[in-house]
Chain A
Amino acid sequence: MVNQTLNRAAPLPRRKRSHSFTTESRPGFLVYGILLAFFLGSTYPLWYSMVIGSSDSGVFASARPPLLPGGHFWSNVAEVFNTVDFWAALGNSLVVSSVITLSVVSFSTLAGYAFAKLRFRGREGLLVFVIATLAVPTQLGIIPLFMMMKEFGWTGSLGAIMIPTLVTAFGVFFMRQYLVDNIPDELIEAARVDGASMIGTFWHVGVPAARPAMAILSLFTFMTAWTDYLWPMLVAPQTPTLQVALSQLQSARYVDYTIVMAGALMATIPLLVLFVVAGKQLVSGIMTGAVKG
């Protein structure tokens, strides 16, 4: 029964609808107006942080906050750099998020491929286990994890930040769902008849087919690792990731909102760059992962 439902949940080919658009009229200005308003609401807080982050601290003395950026952005940024080691934090975040992403995507692809395309005793049971653990909020295990890291003497290292999220049940499930429909069994059979080893088949047939899903999983894993705060703050405040450094900036300088805002903006820039580069993929990733209508 499980198997049946699982197969039904496999990503489905989406029907192209472009033909129906031709018969559908363009929406009026009202729709664009609403979307524009939503867009402004979505971006205004960033603009606001720019305005405050580029003012001097006297900005709060005036009756009303200004609407346009002031001329102190760079001096505020300099103050941010004085207070926290921004570049080291950026580096830490990049390392942590990249290693986690690499690990999650590799292990998920490997396991997802096995669950989707290989037969082995206990497969169904193990897959049910994976699905069941999707629900497990591992974040709640922080106390023992904290004690473990202490016992190993790893507290404060980047490794300690990464360890709890090196694998995710979501990743395995996601890859399995994708691969079950996207690798023709004939291809695997052909490779085997040609005498390819199992790992060779995985490498030459599985991985190329999995690439689009791997890209999406990478994006989301990277985002999740990048935004994580609770665990890095607990286990390695002395080697802060960008999020932890940002909160330390707040705790060191919360009196100076202008500097905290400049820092918040600086910390957002890397992801904004990612958004410009991979925004389309993010959009399609969200829309794909979600369709189960």
Chain B
Amino acid sequence: MTNKPPGASTGPAGRKARPSAPTPEKLREDQLTGKQRHRHFFSRLDYKYSPYLYVAPFFILFALVGLFPLVYTFVVSINDWDLLGGAGEWVGLENYTAELSSPLFWNSLFNTFSIFLLSAIPQLAIATFIAAMLDQNLRAKTFWRMSVLVPYVVTPVAVTLIFSNAFDEKYGLINNLLQVFNVDPVAWKTSVFPSHLAIATMVNWRWTGYNALILLAAMQAVPRELHESAALDGAGKLRRFFSITLPSIRPTMIFVIITATIGGMQIFTEPKLFNASSSVPGGPDRQYQTTVLYLWDLAFNRGDFGRASAVAWMLFLIIILIGVINFLLSRKIASSGEKRAGRRPARRGRRAGKTAIPASGQDMAEARRRNHG
């Protein structure tokens, strides 16, 4: 069985509360010969400075290709900066005020949030449901778990091309089916709500199974004893699901929502490739032009690097804000989980309370990993 996570291989040694790192200082200096002392000197150097060498590649590369560009985005954003012409005059915050008063910018934010809501809510509901189905004593358990993950290996570009075809307004599968049921064809690519729904469908298709597995993992961590004792008290399956399973996986659900948000804020590929025949990226009237797509259009079609950078920074701040809300939210849930945990068997307490900082950290990481763009 490979569904046992690597973490499960932890031996008893892994549970030590604090690492007690080996220290060469423990060796008694006066017992060393000259040669040993020489070696000892290098060993000390090795001991003292090696860790910095190990972490250095990460920090140096990250500073160069991660942080520097972000900071420099700000520099670009306070200048008049043209794609072809290069840097112009310093303009202060003019690019920001221009964008904040531009209906196109707000339109892109509206579209981004709308597509996000349309994908997050059904996705969470269905993923929870599927996870509950998977969290049973199934035959061919591994097969079923793998089966929900198939869409995850289809890349967003391929997903978009396939769905773009299915959602074609005149000859697509979906409108054809609608006609069979005597429903008028829907303008999937040229009206606001249907196009958001179509794009959300692509996101949902690719990610629901993935999230179902995350929620499944959380459900499996719910102690069986709780279910068993509730069952003895006469609680039915449905009742147990709502009063035991759901509350227990709440932190994980928050986690799924947050990761979906951060990924969703940066959605690009789907709206970019959804309607290849539109001369305006994101629909003829920007019906589904998301913020990152708007940023790309601003920078590389309209050639305004300055304003595009201002948009990048504002989106950056929005994502950071969401990160902070995440932090506060997960702390709150962690502390309420702590209270609940008090009534549980002692060893569950540790699990219930551990969502604070690292959870938010991992959320971010997860969001990056599932980068939609």
Contact = CB atoms under 8 A, between A and B. Distances in A.
A and B touch in the complex (CB under 8 A): yes
Interface of A: 2, 5-9, 11-14, 16-17, 20-21, 23-27, 31-32, 34-35, 38-39, 41-43, 45-46, 48-49, 52, 60, 63-65, 107-108, 110-111, 113-120, 123, 126, 130-131, 133-145, 147-148, 163-170, 172-174, 177-178, 180-189, 192-193, 197-199, 202, 212-213, 216, 220, 223-224, 226-230, 234, 242-243, 246-247, 250-251, 254, 257, 260-261, 263-265, 267-268, 271-272, 274-275, 279-284, 286-293
Given A143-B308, A290-B214, A293-B248, A35 B130 contact: yes
22 contacts: A23-B228, A32-B138, A34-B130, A110-B54, A119-B19, A136-B316, A138-B69, A140-B70, A141-B68, A143-B69, A143-B76, A145-B65, A147-B76, A164-B65, A173-B361, A268-B158, A275-B146, A279-B149, A284-B6, A288-B6, A293-B249, A293-B352
Given A123-B51, A135-B323, A290-B218, A282 B352 contact: no
Given A167-B58, A199-B50, A26 B137 contact: yes
B51 A186 contact: no
B35 interface: no
A13 B161 contact: no
B342 to A, nearest CB: 16
A120 B51 contact: yes
B365 A126 contact: no
Interface residues of B, number: 142
B76 to A, nearest CB: 6
Given A45-B163, A141-B72, A197-B46, A134 B153 contact: no
Interface in B181-201: none
A144 B316 CA distance: 15
Given A234-B296, A291-B221, 18 more contacts: A7-B17, A9-B354, A20-B224, A34-B130, A42-B150, A45-B159, A64-B176, A182-B6, A184-B16, A230-B292, A246-B161, A250-B161, A264-B161, A279-B149, A280-B2, A284-B5, A287-B217, A292-B362
B339 to A, nearest CB: 16
A43 B299 CA distance: 37
B364 A135 contact: yes
A203 to B, nearest CB: 12
B173 A48 contact: yes
B69 A126 contact: no
A9 B359 contact: yes
Contacts of A264: 157-158, 161-162
B315 interface: yes
A35 to B, nearest CB: 5
Given A174-B365, A282-B149, A118 B51 contact: yes
A279 B213 CA distance: 13
A264 B248 CA distance: 40
Contact of A141 (B73, B142, B249): B73
Contact of B62 (A63, A110, A119, A169): A169
The 5 closest A-B pairs by CB, nearest first: A141-B69, A9-B358, A184-B13, A170-B365, A288-B5
Contact of B133 (A7, A34, A251, A286): A34
A45 B373 CA distance: 21
B125 to A, nearest CB: 13
B305 interface: yes
Nearest to B69: A141
B356 interface: yes
B358 A8 contact: yes
Contacts of A163: 65
B43 to A, nearest CB: 8
A48 B158 CA distance: 12
A210 to B, nearest CB: 10
A115 B75 CA distance: 33
A136 B220 CA distance: 31
B118 to A, nearest CB: 17
Interface in B123-155: 130, 133-134, 136-139, 142, 144-155
- Most chain B CB atoms below 10 A, which of A9, A34, A60, A286: A286
Contact of A24 (B48, B137, B221, B354): B137
Contacts of A42: 147-148, 150-151, 205, 209
Interface string B340-361: 0000000000111111111111
- Most chain B CB atoms below 10 A, which of A2, A17, A27, A261: A27
B266 interface: yes
A185 B65 contact: no
B198 to A, nearest CB: 13
Given A31-B133, A42-B148, A286-B210, A145 B69 contact: yes
B295 to A, nearest CB: 8
B44 to A, nearest CB: 11
B9 interface: yes
B137 A2 contact: no
B28 interface: no
Contacts of B262: 135, 137
B153 A45 contact: no
A198 B48 CA distance: 10
B47 to A, nearest CB: 6
B269 A229 contact: yes
A128 B136 CA distance: 39
